[in-house]
Amino acid sequence: MQSLAKIENWPVPTAAAAVVRADGTVAGSHGPVAQRFPLASVTKPLAAYAVLVAYEEGAVELDEPAGPEGSTVRHLLAHTSGLAFDEHKQTSAPGTRRIYSNAGFEQLADHVAKATEIPFPEYVRQAVLEPLGMRATTLDGSPAKDGTSTVDDLVRFAAEVQAPRLLDARTVLEAMSVVHPGLSGILPGYGNQKPNDWGLGFEIRDGKSPHWTGSSSSPRTFGHFGQSGTFLWIDPDAQAACVVLTDRAFGPWAIEAWPPFTDAVLAELRG
């Protein structure tokens, strides 16, 4: 795909990208796709997928208590537990505000580890990474932000989400559907969004503006971006997903570069 070569013009030392279709075929790739990059918050979808495996295995229930008082597994996955961004303190009642929370994912991981009696990084490896052949991916700290991976590995994950084998397709559909519709909140780097829609571990584009995906991305697009200059989006209408990893922290350069890149990818896919 010629559109992927646009990463060559980005002000970053290194970047790699790939597109995988819903049938699992790689439509194209560019750059060092086998190089390991810090994922930052692109770690969250991997962690969320492991939690959903635990749910399907019967280790946890989505609506069982977890995290602060009144919160559930579902609240933690959807950033509606009321926990602060990076502090383990509750700042609002569960289900009333969308507060993007690293602390929430850390409490979620602790909950699953206790339920399964397996350390969460090991559970992620057994439940998600190993079955998908993601041998270059590791979780070396917080389940909110301390994953490391390659484009090649994340292509395997994006293919799985589009055509699930580890989860029931109905569970994935729930994960990409809005939890607690209508809640507003701050999308890091992009300001207040009304509404700020999320599913179970995945951010949902809907009508958000500004946004890190493209102007031609469908409202059903879901995924995540990370402060290490990384993103993964899945557009069900385009029947494709895109992975981009870089080694420059998110900033104004990304806000400027990412949307036209995504629009070019989508135009080529539809072309």
List b or e across 89-110, with b for residues whose CB sees 16 or more CB atoms inside 10 angstroms. ebeeebbebbbbbbbbbbbbbe
Average pLDDT over every residue of 161-168: 98
Query: What is the Cα–Cα distance from 212 to 264, expressed in whole angstroms?
Result: 14
Q: Average pLDDT, whole number, for the chain?
A: 97
Residue type, 133: G
pLDDT at 197 over 90: yes
pLDDT at 271 over 90: no
User: pLDDT at position 115, please?
Assistant: 98
Sheet holding 37-40, edge to edge: 37-40, 147-149, 138-139
Q: By percentage, how much of the chain surpasses pLDDT 90?
A: 100
Interval 183-195: pLDDT, tens = 999 999 999 999 9
Interval 212-221: pLDDT, tens = 999 999 999 9
According to DSSP, residue 46 is labeled H
**Quick one: pLDDT band at residue 226, thresholds 50, 70, 90?**
very high
User: pLDDT at position 14, please?
Assistant: 98
Within the chain, how many helices (H) and strands (E) appear? 8, 11
Average pLDDT over every residue of 138-165: 98
Interval 55-101: pLDDT, tens = 999 999 999 999 999 999 999 999 999 999 999 999 999 999 999 99
> In the chain, where are the structural domains located?
2-270
What is the pTM for the complete model shown?
0.97
User: pLDDT at position 127, please?
Assistant: 98
Interval 93-131: pLDDT, tens = 999 999 999 999 999 999 999 999 999 999 999 999 999
Residue type, 64: E
* DSSP letter string, 57-95: TTS--TTSB-SSTT-BHHHHHTT-S-B-SSSS-B-S-TT
Fold of the 2-270 domain:
Beta-lactamase (3.40.710)
User: pLDDT at position 15, please?
Assistant: 98
